[in-house]
Structure 1
Amino acid sequence: MKAVAVPSIAGAYLFQPTPHRDDRGFFSRTFDADVAKSVGIDPAAFAQDSVSRSHRGVLRGMHLRSGAGEAKLVRCSFGEVFDVVVDLRPGSPTFRNREIFRLSGETQESVYIPAGCAHGFQALSEVADVSYRIDRAHDPDEDVAIAHDDPELAIPWPLPPALVSARDSAAGSLAEALETRR
């Protein structure tokens, strides 16, 4: 496994495992504490693991947390997703930059998303499971959502949204989210 810096988002990394394939399928390491440490990520800082299942076209996001934010390690463990990260840290050298990843169960790649970045994804396969390793317990009072179709973000979602939650449908603009975070 290796960690590759994501130049467009300061502090973000793409973790690329080496799945071992044979006639049975594959075996893959999905997290390695030593590799995380080698890029300055404290593996002991993660406090919660979660998983979501989505069907083709389902769009989740854009989400972030107010206050201290939350760092997370995101992986598509089954299926395929179009994954988006936006740097919303005002002091960051990559503030407002966006990066897009195609994460899949075939590659088992993970994206480390620093606290203060917004995240969202759209399921490309019939079923997609996304696993999250998060550095703080969830506090719903800190949830911030940004409209997935905000023109300032200009995210080129590959499919028309098949389903968006009521919360995400009611999400405000990027400008409102930035004001909320102050």
Structure 2
Amino acid sequence: MQVTRSRIAGVLVMESEPVLDERGWFVRTFDADVAREHGVRAEDFVQDSVSRSHRGVVRGLHVRTGRGEAKLVRCSRGALLDVVVDLRPGSPTYGEWEGFELTEESQRSVYIPAGCAHGFQSLREPSDTSYRIDRPHDPAESLAIAHDDPDLAVAWPLPVTCLSAGDRAARPLSEVRHLLGPALPAR
């Protein structure tokens, strides 16, 4: 498994080459020892979830208030543009975003540290997204930032076909920044 660092501190891209044969393919999507070598505490992951999205759907930009939430994200079916926004005050990339193409063919994963917002757009019909998070989900700590916040200027590759009611009501970062809580360190 190869791990590369993003330009956003603490964001890691984890890749393994799928092994192909007449049955299909096999790939290791997570290795706790490799994760630990790069500062990710594998034992902290407490929940796994999967979402299915139609082509053009955007989910996010979501962040968790308080201590934040680290997550490991992978596209198990279809293709996504996965977006990470650094919201850690003091980070050299604060307020910047980076996108990663995640596909069923690559099975690439992105580790997103606490204090970063996350969202994605489905590029194929359908796309399944697997999430592994380090804290039990608490809806009271969920915060959505507008996917079309002009200050962030995320370049979604397709027209947005659908948003949840919560994502439609999301406000720009400038209006919700005060809700994020104490600064989380960039690793």
Code of the residue aligned with 1:148 in structure 2: it is: H
Q: Secondary structure at the match of 2:20?
A: strand
Q: CA separation in 2, counterparts of 1:42 and 1:65?
A: 19
2:12 aligned with 1:2? no
Q: CA RMSD in A?
A: 0.8
Q: CA separation in 2, counterparts of 1:52 and 1:142?
A: 20
| Deviation, structure 1 residue 23 | 2.0
Alignment of 1:80-159 (within 5 A): 80-159=79-158
Alignment of 1:58-97 (within 5 A): 58-97=57-96
1:146-174 per-residue CA deviation (whole Å, 9 max, x = no partner) reads 01001011011111111100000000111
Correspondence for 1:179: 178
Code of the residue aligned with 1:98 in structure 2: it is: W
Q: Secondary structure at the match of 1:153?
A: coil
Aligned length: 181
Correspondence for 1:167: 166
Q: Which runs of 4+ in 1 moved over 2 A?
A: none
Q: Please report the TM-score for the alignment, with normalisation by the length of structure 1.
A: 0.97
Query: Contact conserved, 2:96 with 2:152, CA < 8 A, in 1?
Result: no
Unmatched runs of 5 consecutive residues or more in structure 2: 182-187
Unmatched runs of 5 consecutive residues or more in structure 1: none
Q: Please report the TM-score for the alignment, with normalisation by the length of structure 2.
A: 0.95
Q: CA separation in 2, counterparts of 1:175 and 1:22?
A: 51
